[in-house]
Structure 1
């Protein structure tokens, strides 16, 4: 069982940005530029209460960015430290995202990922997300997916 995510504080920013850098850097060559999460302003997201982190043994090992929208909760980012890959932290963060969406009264959670991140698309499909459409935003070719929550 993993620790419950907590809301991030500004003191967590450096660790969050490091995890994002490690998680998304491998995709730069595939996409031809930095993925969207590497361009986000984490100081603003943390200040707005949008970022959640999971700590193990005193170190942040994973993060989740949730953005409430009018008709759905946007799962904007989920990333795990390289040292925590395969531990189930990512899965527990995805479950927490769904729990948070339900608790906030949403019946749908949505996300998007780059079309070349095929392993992510496959993972999200396996856990109940369905592709809704594809579009180019900010020069990035994205696959949009949604999951209806019970």
Structure 2
């Protein structure tokens, strides 16, 4: 089940981000951006959705918001214990569905160039690399997917 996050989800979202991204600290040299996100503000703005199991436990989250003519997918994470079950793909599909519902033309996202698994996952989901640059002190790879 995917639903909009509520304030009571913040601790579980933070734990998910910490578990999903902490392994990248040695590669990047500091905490990846999702580990320092202001989840409270994102939840209050209605920008985070959570994926839950049948018992209501958080398995992952996605943060996105409309920006101009596209949806900006800000971050996505799945608990390592829940990886390999298609949760991330379901969350991205949900984001794309919301973009279509709003009549947006595309979904934009970025990942750190050191997160090499993402560099192969996003193209398999139809995303095309459009740029590489240093942004906010991170070496990022930017992707977009045009929506029909």
Give the secondary-structure state (helix, strand or coil) at the position aligned to 2:142: strand
> Which one of 71, 76, 86 corresponds to residue 73 of structure 1?
71
> Which one of 14, 17, 22 corresponds to residue 20 of structure 1?
17
Alpha-carbon deviation of 1:71?
2.2
Partner Cα separation in structure 2 for residue 24 and residue 30 of structure 1: 11
Task: Give 1:119-130 correspondences, 5 Å limit.
Answer: 119-130=117-128
Would you say 1:9 and 2:10 are equivalent positions?
no
Scaled by the length of structure 2, what TM-score is found? Answer: 0.96
Structure 2 residues not aligned, in runs of 5+: none
- Number of aligned residue pairs: 147
CA RMSD of aligned residues (A): 0.8
> Which residue of structure 2 lines up, in the alignment, with residue 108 of structure 1?
106
Ranges of 4+ aligned residues in structure 1 off by more than 3 Å: none
Per-residue displacement from partner, 1:97-128 (whole Å, max 9, x unpaired)?
11111111111001000011111011001111
> Which one of 33, 36, 47 corresponds to residue 36 of structure 1?
33
